């Protein structure tokens, strides 16, 4: 079993996730980076059509209105969460 990545802000900002987030939501980017640096970030994966198309959203357990990402499949959401070291709680 792989261990959770230990992120520094510098190496986190070099991930594809961070680069895409910054491009898509520059205003929320500093908040997302702060959350992603948390040691035990807990997330929820939900299916939604809020944007008009079906997608799987990775939301913060402590702030479900904040999206860490949205991807087309549940498998992609689980994979991203695993890669980033986020604990999926539901």
What pTM was estimated for this model as a whole?
0.90
DSSP state of 72: S
- pLDDT (tens digit per residue) in 33-83: 999 999 889 999 999 998 898 999 999 999 999 999 999 999 999 999 999
Domain that holds residue 25: 9-88
The answer to whether residue 1 is domain-embedded is: no
Q: Cα–Cα–Cα angle for 78, 32, 15, nearest 5°?
A: 65
Please tell me the total count of domains within the chain: 1
- The answer to whether the CB of 30 falls within 8 A of the CB of 75 is no
Examine residue 4 and state whether it is found in any structural domain, yes or no.
no
Strand pairing category for 67-71 and 87-88: unpaired
- The answer to whether residue 41 is domain-embedded is yes
> What gap in Å lies between CA 90 and CA 77, rounded to an integer?
12
Is residue 3 a part of any domain in this protein? no
Q: Does 2 reside within a domain? A: no
In a domain, 51, yes or no: yes
């Amino acid at each position: 079993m792989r261990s959770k990545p230990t992120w520094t802000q510098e190496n986190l900002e070099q991930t594809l996730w961070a680069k895409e987030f910054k491009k898509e939501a520059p205003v929320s980017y500093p908040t997302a980076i702060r959350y992603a640096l948390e040691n035990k970030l807990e997330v929820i994966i939900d299916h939604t059509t809020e944007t008009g198309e079906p997608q799987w959203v990775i939301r913060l357990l402590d702030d479900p209105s904040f999206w860490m990402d949205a991807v087309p499949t549940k498998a992609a959401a689980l994979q991203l969460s695993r890669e980033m070291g986020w604990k999926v709680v539901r």
